A and B are shown apart, each in its own frame.
Chain A
């Protein structure tokens, strides 16, 4: 079946370093959504990308949607301790439209 995969699973960085998580789908996506879940919290919507090759920025966060609409990335510049959490990408199934979540990338930031 359709899969959405994320790498890496875990990432430990020193505060101030950059961080990138990658999301790959086995099929073309109509859109990709990114969520952040803080430890002990619930997923919070960050952004949705729809267009091929789209790039969106939110302060230190840069989101990209691949030209083929099968992959996406989230890049954080100069990480801060507030960036700690698990970042999930999610895309709708081509068959059912249901959101399929990636496994998530857990970011730890050392102060």
Chain B
């Protein structure tokens, strides 16, 4: 089946530092990947759509300068949380679809998530 990996799985950082999270599709290519944020006991909230070779599309209310997304290749997307603050502490999850269209209607395969704690 389709496998998506994320690294790191957990990160603890000091306020003001930047943290980079990698999302990789291991056995398929993904022109589109998605980044979600999940607070404890809440649902997933789409933050942005990562597009290979072009700029990411951000959801309303998500600061693009705060959450930098780079889709470097067909198998790798990175999310950088810049100047992290305690309120950025959350569970960040990426997803991708093996279908070539990368449409939202396609089954999404999620990475294992990255738990970010900002002190």
Residues in A lying within 8 Å of B, measured CB to CB: 30-31, 33, 35, 41-45, 48, 88, 90, 92-93, 96-99, 101-104, 106
Contact = CB atoms under 8 A, between A and B. Distances in A.
B87 to A, nearest CB: 21
Nearest to B114: A42
A33 B110 contact: no
Interface residues of B, number: 19
Contacts of B42: 103
Contact of A104 (B43, B104, B107): B43
A96 B104 contact: yes
Contacts of B103: 97
B8 interface: no
B7 to A, nearest CB: 13
B105 A45 contact: no
B46 A106 contact: no
